């Protein structure tokens, strides 16, 4: 089974293969294995969601160093001998290593970052620091 390509022009063009409509048609698809991210902000925290279906939470590492949050995964791929008994006509599942880094603002509480992994979505909640309220003090005039 192969991907069906339609030729909509009158003559085939040499540029048809260069500008693919679907990223899956690119020969080196493994270069596109960076997970998609959603970043939300509300009054009390930031929430970063990464789409990482098929990964085990044990293989995902989250670390903070010098106000940079790094989410990465180390996945050991199956050896060719394990897949020797199966023949793929197309293989699009991609469980490769990835690394995403996010620069954190000074207003976050790095000590209280929490993460959860559910239904293929890694959710990292980063609370904001409480603003130090300036104390109002009355000064008596003598």
pTM: 0.64
**Cα gap 85→130, rounded to integer Å:** 58
pLDDT at 124: 96
Domain boundaries, the chain: 34-127
Average pLDDT taken over every residue of the chain: 77
Contact 20, 26 (CB under 8 A): yes
Q: Strand 68-73 to strand 60-65: parallel, antiparallel, or no bridges (unpaired)?
A: antiparallel
Q: Where are the beta strands (DSSP E) in the chain?
A: 37-41, 45-51, 60-65, 68-73, 98-103, 114-118, 121-127
Q: What is the pLDDT of residues 1-36, one digit of tens each?
A: 334 444 555 555 555 555 554 444 444 444 456 889
Percent share of the chain, pLDDT over 70: 67
User: Helix, strand, or coil here: 125?
Assistant: strand
CA distance 54 to 44: 31
pLDDT at 117: 95
- Write the class of the CATH domain 34-127: mainly beta
Asked whether the predicted pLDDT for residue 127 surpasses 80, the reply is: yes
């Amino acid at each position: 089974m192969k991907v069906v390509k339609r030729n909509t022009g009158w003559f085939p063009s040499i540029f048809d293969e260069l500008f693919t409509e679907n990223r899956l048609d690119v020969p080196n698809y493994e270069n596109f294995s960076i997970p998609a991210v959603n970043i939300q902000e509300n009054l009390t925290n930031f929430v970063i969601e990464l789409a990482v279906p098929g990964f085990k939470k044990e293989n995902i590492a989250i670390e903070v160093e010098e106000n940079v949050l790094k989410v990465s995964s180390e996945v050991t791929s199956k050896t060719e001998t394990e897949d020797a008994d199966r023949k793929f006509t197309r293989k699009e599942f991609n469980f490769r290593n990835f690394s995403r880094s996010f620069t954190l603002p000074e207003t976050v509480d790095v000590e209280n970052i929490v993460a959860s992994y559910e239904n293929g979505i890694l959710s990292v909640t980063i609370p904001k620091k409480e603003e130090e309220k300036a104390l109002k003090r009355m000064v008596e005039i003598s």
